[in-house]
Chain A
Amino acid sequence: MIETYLRQSALDHLGLAGHSTAAPTEAGVQLSEKPLPVAVNLRGDSGDAAFVEAVREALGLALPTLPNTATTGEGLALLWLGPDEWLAMQHDAAAFAEAQLATKLRKALDGLHAAVTEMGESLCCLSLAGAQARAVLAKGCPLDLHPRAFGGSGHCAQSLLAKAAVTLLQVSDAPAFELYVRRSFADYLWRWLEDAAREYGVAVVRP
């Protein structure tokens, strides 16, 4: 039996824990890798009241229908990805929490035309915070992240960051962002972020 502590994140080889700091920092940017995410991709018809209700029932969260927004609840976030696509997110180190979340949704959506697909294993979640977080993202992301354009905490978008596709979620107006990237790109994106943040000073912090 394999123990869950043997799970590896996409950045395991960088040994981040070894050179992370827990202390508050003067650096313009704080960078960290969040614990392995739990994520379930959800497809369905938001015009179908039964679908919307079933999701609300299963997750205790309203389905966000406003583009580029997320609804958040107890340890859970539901991100709008498209007119018929959402991502249910949870930070939970438990190895098989993802399967449980997917099963719960599948059960709730039984009989409807919907699709539930586990996605968290394919993702790496990076956190970027600090006064210059927006400036760093702007170096590779074509989105306008100004508070007037990107509506602050709870706003999300799928876009590009450098040469990687990312899902961006603003988690604090401070500002702080979570970046979800496919795990094979995580090493590239981490190194890119460190390089892009260099001029502002960058601290690798504990998540």
Chain B
Amino acid sequence: MAGRMRLPQGGFVAHDELLTFTFNGKTYKGLAGDTLASALLANGIHMVGRSFKYHRPRGIVSAGGEEPNALMQVGDDPRSEPNLKATQVELVDGLKAKSQNAWPSLEFDVGALNGLASRFLPAGFYYKTFMWPASAWMTYEHFIRRAAGLGVSPRQRDPDRYDKTFAHCDVLVVGGGPAGLAAALSAGRAGARVILAEQDHLLGGALLNTQGEVIDGQPARDWIAAAEAELAALPEVRVLKRTICYAAFDHNFFGLVESVTDHLPRPPENLPRKRLWKLRTKQVVYCAGAIERPLVFADNDRPGVMTASAVQSYVNRYALRPGRRAVVFTNNDSGYGAALDMKAAGIEVAAVVDARQVPAGPLTERATALGLRILGGFAIVAVEGARRVKRVRVAELSLDGKTVTGVPEAIDCDLVASSGGWNPTVHLFCQAKGKLRWDDEHACFLPDAAMQTGQQSAGAANGRFGLGSCLREGTEAGAAAAAACGFAPSDTAASQAEDRDFLPGRWIWLVPGEHPLGHKAKHFVDQQNDVTAADLKLALREGYRSIEHVKRYTTTGMATDQGKMGNVNAIGIVADEVGGHLPEVGVTTFRPPYTPVTFGVFAGRDVDNLLDPVRRTPMHAWHERNGALFEDVGQWRRAWYYPQHGEDMHAAVNREVKAVRDSLGILDATTLGKIDIQGPDAAEFLNRVYTNAWLKLGIGRCRYGLMLKEDGMVMDDGVTTRLGEKHYLMTTTTGNAAAVLGHLEDYLQTEWPDLQVYLTSVTEQFATMTLSGPSARRLLADVSDADLSPEALPHMAYTAAKVAGVPARIFRISFTGELSYEINVPASFGMAVWQTLTTAGERYGITPYGTEAMHVLRAEKGYIIVGQETDGSVTPHDLGMDWAVSKTKDFVGRRSLSREDMARPDRKQLVGLLTKDPKEVLPEGAQLVEKVLPQPPMPMLGHVTSSYHSPNCGRSIAMALVKGGLARKGETLFAPLGDGRTIACVVADTCVFFDPEGERLK
């Protein structure tokens, strides 16, 4: 038998399918169908962890996702996962679990000293103790994390695969209990696309935990099986088991996590471990059921104290005895269900302690008829037993329920089943910003008005606690949801069952003990966060009134718990204390996730080489073959430099830079953005978006342009060419291509819709290669039919011709200061043309150069790079580029250039910088100061934007943005570096370090 507490038969476990698992290193047996929690209980193990703050021994309290104590570290590194609730972990053969909140061991816990010192650990303890000095927070945090025992992240790389998918449906049904099954059936029968999500691996919800329920005259178990079969047969219905709906977002968008392989001992290699469903639905029906709330009584956290419904679940669904002798403590009728089922399973029920003076209700009557000992108007006032309940003391309550009367009676027991009523699971409804209303009769919050359209709740989640009403309401909600999507309801009637509520109840939020509150015993409200009733009262005494503040101060209902068990009790205690009505205190905000979600699920397949697209140019493979190192520019991967024969970066870049100036280089410039502009108003459009004049650019001519945002700051630059009468081609920087097109479309569509212009991105239509250097013309003449004479094709001119037999666009423009041709050929020919050029260019010593050499070459010429010399706070004037700004027309950003602030003399301006020691290269980003002080802070003047060793200048060169820089020519500035060095440099007369007259462009 799998465990000494196992019943010989019954339940939803396979009694002949034994599984082996380990808990804290010891080996046990369980059954297929067990959870980790039920398998432990079947082996007589209640104590599974220690509490967060006081390190008190804690046991399994629940049988579901509301479990506060049984948090487990499951599996070995690298598959180890912390913070799993044992009540939700399906048992698989070979499973390994550890209590995560006990050090060095569960049995001997050093942190329990905290418990002895507990009067020093009241609410707000961490805030009060650890906030000062602020610099010590890091140390404290380390201590807290270790003591808190919130599990350990795996150290090794996660070997599993995770999947993500979008999904769409007409009707999402959350929860596969009676209401959810009914809703899915009625929506599905009407023809709607339905997704039913159930966190469990079995459908049936609360029906799995009870005995003797009858639906449509058949046992509930048979009805569930029939419903499941019918759903499976409906083509547009999909049932997702082991799938938890953890979040409700806007516009009926939901997050669900499906556990695909965790329950399989040997998962197939092709399947992901978990799958994230990003689901958009038109309608949702929340059928998430209800969670039983425990009673708050003295030392209610002893192992062996469970909710009554959990006891029922372990007895009925898992066929085990969670104890031998039990006391039931209830304030409503539903606690008697546990008493009856335990008696039937052979557990001795020592007493039913009922806070109600006159116990009543259908189950109460059955228990009375069976002769159970019922103590009406009584309460448990003390619980004894450190690692397991040994005994309770019960006493009569005063009429107002606030104090104890009479002499307590001791009752020996090893199990306490407590029921304080039921809370509908409204988490998702509230995440979707739905409003709650208080139901005085059932003493719980119910869904009121939904904030989003198409949202309903049904069944216990909506405060319908009788089985018959659950089925009826589910059926109606499913039909209504389908109807809202245009599907006529089918005429199948709702299933019928008995309706039995848990009323009447006597709602006592805080059960008095033998001692004043906070003395000798603790009344736990939130076991996961170790929050007691005394903590709540302390928070109120210290002046907190808003329930949101009380929550944060005491940490009740925070973190993974999200108030599933303790929230309403906490609110009730606060309401009692301030003398208000419970709904006036209000509820705290419910936030996603409903239960924790492992990070891998969010990463999905966006890892490794799928993390982000790597954009390749048509010549990418050539660069790879020729040993290029690459640099990322946005998503593009560009050839950075091509080291040869063991060259380091410095040597390779020097060689490439020299080669361009000496003879010939070739650059892959495909990534530059290209925007095709057509229409009769194209010139006018360019005139408005660029700072300079465009109305008179001739056909076949190119012009450099600066583009500003409306705030006057440089956003992009590039060369635009007039290809034809009404046809232009704009180039943009690599990183800004999409942003510039967006900027242009914005103005075109929203400010100037009267302009007749069409814009199309053609960046990828062409492979672009730049030939640069004194031999560029000769090589191009060798392979092209174009007239390349300076008269026919001067600097800043364009022609269409064939290059290597391929129709090409040739632009004579230069970013190096050398004679250069930018050649555009159809992308599919890029590789072939590139190979032709590199082969034919051998006689001129053609050298492929990468982006680094390109940067050095342009810096030698003082050409800026947007995004390097600019950072969104730099104007054309700051760059010394007033020459590119028209004074006679309006353009985007112009008015900003005459704002008062723009005339400040201490604006940062672009200057050239030369280090005093020509061999020293300033680091880019280095801060510049006028005077070096012994230690920071020192007034900073600006920073280095570009800095290189220039082989053509035979020294280092740099550019910098410096306050009032244009007036500082000849001044010496200093760059104090992090390593203690200081580099002295002089503000140069110009940024142009090479060929200042531009002779080489002619």
Contact = CB atoms under 8 A, between A and B. Distances in A.
**Do A and B interact directly, with beta carbons closer than 8 Å?**
yes
Given A8-B830, A96-B807, A119-B765, A139 B616 contact: no
A163 B762 CA distance: 20
A2 B613 contact: no
Nearest to B276: A139
B272 interface: yes
A119 to B, nearest CB: 6
B314 to A, nearest CB: 36
Interface in A116-141: 117-119, 121-123, 135, 138-141
Interface stretch (B831-839, B866-874, B986-994): B831-839
Given A117-B762, A119-B765, A199 B271 contact: yes
Contacts of A192: 605, 610
B544 interface: no
B763 A122 contact: yes
B422 to A, nearest CB: 37
A144 interface: yes
Contacts of B605: 139, 192, 195-196
A2 B829 contact: yes
Nearest to B277: A138
Given A6-B829, A184-B636, A185-B613, A141 B166 contact: yes
Given A43-B758, A115-B760, A121-B765, A201 B270 contact: yes
A122 B762 contact: yes
A19 interface: no
Given A163-B613, A192-B610, A183 B621 contact: no
Interface stretch (A9-17, A46-54, A58-66, A71-79): A9-17
A184 B616 contact: yes
Contact of A2 (B636, B676, B680, B804): B804
Contact of B621 (A12, A115, A118, A189): A12
B655 interface: no
A113 B829 contact: no
Contacts of A22: none
Contacts of B831: 6, 8, 12
A36 interface: yes
A199 B765 CA distance: 35
Interface string B671-690: 00000101110000000000
Contact of A195 (B610, B679, B829): B610
Contact of B829 (A7, A163, A184, A185): A7
Contacts of B826: 95, 98, 121
B885 interface: no
B806 interface: yes
A188 B614 contact: yes
Nearest to A99: B807
A23 to B, nearest CB: 21
Contacts of A1: 805
A146 B193 contact: yes
Given A138-B167, A195-B605, A8 B756 contact: no
In which size bucket is the chain B interface? 35 or more
A164 B612 CA distance: 9
A192 B610 CA distance: 7
Contacts of B676: 115, 117
A96 B763 CA distance: 19
Interface string B259-287: 00000000000111000001010000000
Contact of B612 (A8, A163, A184): A163
A41 interface: yes
Given A7-B828, A138-B165, A201-B270, A2 B610 contact: no
B764 A184 contact: yes
A101 to B, nearest CB: 13
B899 interface: no
Contacts of B167: 138
Contacts of B758: 43, 114-115
B620 A13 contact: yes
Nearest to B756: A113
A8 B618 contact: yes
Interface string B741-767: 000000000000000101010111110
A140 B606 CA distance: 11
Given A113-B679, A118-B765, A163-B612, A2 B163 contact: no
A121 B829 CA distance: 9
B193 A184 contact: no
Nearest to A113: B756
A141 B618 CA distance: 26
A201 B609 CA distance: 21
A17 B827 CA distance: 20
Contacts of B168: 144, 146, 149
A13 B678 contact: no
Interface in A162-189: 162-164, 182-185, 187-189
A148 interface: yes
A104 B165 CA distance: 43
B827 A183 contact: yes
A142 interface: yes
Interface string A139-159: 111111010110000000000
A198 interface: yes
A107 interface: no
Contacts of B733: none
Contacts of A142: 166, 278, 280
Contacts of B678: 43, 115, 117
Contacts of B620: 13
Contacts of A36: 828
B613 A188 contact: yes
B768 interface: no
A197 to B, nearest CB: 10
Nearest to A39: B765
A148 B613 contact: no
A79 B714 CA distance: 37
A144 B805 CA distance: 46
Contacts of B280: 142, 144
B204 to A, nearest CB: 28
B703 to A, nearest CB: 21
A121 B760 contact: no
A34 to B, nearest CB: 13
A1 to B, nearest CB: 4
Nearest to A199: B270
A173 B385 CA distance: 68
A121 B764 contact: yes
Nearest to B671: A184
Nearest to B830: A8
B164 interface: yes
A117 B832 CA distance: 23
Interface in B758-789: 758, 760, 762-766
Interface string B810-832: 00000000000000001111111
Given A184-B617, A192-B605, A139 B166 contact: yes
A48 B900 CA distance: 49
B931 interface: no
A171 B676 CA distance: 30
B616 A187 contact: yes
B895 interface: no
A122 B827 contact: yes
B615 interface: yes
Contacts of B762: 117-119, 122
B764 A183 contact: yes
8 contacts: A12-B831, A95-B829, A115-B678, A119-B765, A122-B827, A139-B164, A140-B166, A183-B764
Given A2-B832, A183-B827, A191-B609, 14 more contacts: A6-B831, A95-B829, A113-B756, A115-B678, A121-B827, A135-B165, A139-B605, A163-B606, A163-B612, A182-B763, A182-B764, A192-B610, A196-B163, A198-B270
Interface of A: 1-2, 6-10, 12-13, 36, 41, 43, 95-96, 98-99, 113-115, 117-119, 121-123, 135, 138-144, 146, 148-149, 162-164, 182-185, 187-189, 191-192, 195-196, 198-199, 201
The 4 tightest CB contacts between A and B, nearest first, are A122-B764, A184-B615, A115-B758, A1-B805
